[in-house]
Amino acid sequence: MTEAALPDAEASPAPILPLAGDRPTFVGLSRERLAALLEQAGVPEKERRMRLSQLWHWIYVRGAQEFGDMTNVARQLQTHLVQHATLARPEIVREQVSADGTRKWVLRLPPRGVGDRGAEVECVYIPERDRGTLCVSSQVGCTLNCSFCHTGTQKLVRNLEAWEIVAQVMVARDRLGDYPGRTPPEGAFVPKDGGRFVSNIVFMGMGEPLYNYANVREAIGVLTDPQGLQLSRRKITVSTSGVVPDIAPLGAETGAMLAISLHATNDALRDELVPINRKYPIADLLEACRTYPGVSNARRITFEYVMLKGVNDSLSEARAMVRMLRGIHAKINLIPFNPWPGTQYECSDWAQIERFSEVIFDAGYASPIRTPRGRDILAACGQLKSDTEKMRARARLMLEEQLALGTD
Ligand code: SAH
Ligand code: SF4
């Protein structure tokens, strides 16, 4: 396994400005970064505070795509801003809508230098009866090679900037028309209280969010700003494979909900499935959960458990899980394994998943099986892997086949 974390943003020598072409985009930025760019663009100091709150409102509440739409910003300043910045979002490479209303977007991020064509990430919108959840990516690919996860096999890896995480939410809201005066698209979750179609965020897309903690924290700050996107901290869930040292800071500094990718009830098996376990074993992980800041009966930690046939799905393992979670405010989420080409695993039989869930139900946990969504568009957990990567793999495979056949 590759254990090394990518450099955290805090440790990077210089923050990378969010470039879209040669002008920075304002979309996805924190107040501090936006203020710095306004200063850079020459907006006088005495005006800056007021301009910042105007821009903030237009960008995050109204979803403005042009400076010219900002009717209360002086025309002269609008023209000036156009020369210095944009309101560009990442490019949508592909949009897919599943028969069940799930939507998946493949986004291309701005190139970061000569020869870079721009990395791709995916985000997925899952409308349910009581919520509209956006599953966002925190990295391009992932350095951790969990043996059952497709993202972990991706070669190209980099941390997303905070703005690139927030921009995924902006794109989803754009495409759903999730702004004042909106008409809901078919299949979207429409809250009765006039709230947002995107009501919840889960960091369960590509990447390990706690290997990019500083950017994830900054992004959560923007997402929860009370004058901006206004998402509730309780409706943001960060899923981790178990980067123990960053779990307490996550709770203390962001107030986000925590999900743990558990997947095994003993260290030997977890070492194999979730290799970061060799560094942070189950006992340390559970201790971090027991003391997670803000955890309570009403704010439980979700334990994710992928159901792998003949690997981790025996009833004695279900009982072991119940025992080991005793004393922790926990919810359990059983995830039917989503197969991908080349995987060595199979999903447990449905009857076995039900038996497993009954043991958990009898121990007092409610409805623990996660219904797979968007299977027809490969939007399910662990299936996110950039298309460029997939195309390269396909091309490699074709080449290998040709070489084996002795043709060119
Ligand atoms: N890196 C983080 C978050 C992204 S993965 C983490 O590991 O928690 C989100 C969830 O999908 C995790 O629980 C992960 O274990 C699970 N997952 C990965 N591949 C899967 C697959 N093929 N089928 C089902 N769940 C999978
Ligand atoms: Fe990375 Fe999570 Fe996949 Fe493991 S399950 S490889 S941590 S994205």
Domain locations along the chain:
26-84, 91-392
For the structural domain made of 91-392, what CATH number should be given?
3.20.20.70
Do residues 302 and 260 lie in contact, with contact meaning Cβ atoms separated by under 8 Å?
yes
A 10 A CB-CB count for 372 gives 17
**Which is catalytic among the residues 123, 135, 142, 381?**
381
Residue (of 28, 49, 301, 102) closest to 38 by Cα position = 49
| Known catalytic residue at 135 | no
Pocket test for ligand 1, best of 246, 261, 303, 384 (most atoms within 8 A of CB): 261
Dist. CA 270 → ligand 1 center (Å): 14
Write the residue with the smallest CA distance to atom 8 of ligand 2.
207
Which parts of the chain register pLDDT below 50?
A: 1-17, 19-20, 391-408
Element at 392 (helix H, strand E) = helix 387-405
Phi, psi of 46 (to 5 degrees): -65, -20
Integer angstrom CA distances of residue 299 from 269, 331, 357, 359? 29, 10, 21, 23
Three-state SS for 210? helix
Instruction: Please report, to the nearest 10 degrees, the dihedral formed by the alpha carbons of residues 191, 303, 244, 12 taken in order.
Output: -40
Residues with CB under 6 A from ligand 2: 142, 144-146, 149, 151-152, 207-208, 241, 261
Pocket test for ligand 2, best of 135, 146, 262, 386 (most atoms within 8 A of CB): 146
Dist. CA 177 → ligand 2 center (Å): 31
Class of domain 26-84: mainly alpha
Q: In whole angstroms, give the CA distance from residue 149 to residue 246.
A: 22
pLDDT at 403: 42
Instruction: Name 311's Cβ contacts closer than 8 Å, sequence gap at least 6.
Output: 269, 273, 345
Dist. CA 197 → ligand 1 center (Å): 24
Element at 353 (helix H, strand E) = helix 350-362
